[in-house]
């Protein structure tokens, strides 16, 4: 499997993280990136607009 984006596009994303990744480390992550993309796609499936997150805000901070 391959990522949906090119290595050059991935390099842009990597730069945005601010992590000090060298070329070999970026390549390692790029080769595995398709697995992360698959998970991101799964959690972004349509949901009702009013679907609340599992964590709800509680003003009574403990």
Per CB under 8 A, residues contacting other proteins are 13-14, 16-21, 25, 28-29, 32-33, 35-36, 38-40, 42-45, 47, 51-55, 61-62
Q: How far is the CB of 46 from other proteins (least distance, A)?
A: 10
Please, where are the H alpha helices in 1-62? Answer: 7-17, 23-43
Q: How far is the CB of 61 from other proteins (least distance, A)?
A: 8
Q: Which residues lie below 8 Å from residue 21, measured CB to CB, with a gap of 6+?
A: 14, 29
Q: How far is the CB of 11 from other proteins (least distance, A)?
A: 12
Tell me the C-alpha distance between 17 and 61, whole Å.
31
């Amino acid at each position: 499997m391959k990522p949906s984006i090119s290595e050059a596009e991935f390099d842009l994303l990597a730069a945005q993280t601010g992590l000090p990744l060298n070329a070999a480390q970026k390549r390692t992550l790029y080769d595995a990136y398709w697995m992360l993309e698959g998970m991101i796609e799964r959690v972004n499936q349509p949901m009702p607009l009013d679907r609340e997150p599992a964590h709800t805000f509680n003003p009574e901070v403990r």
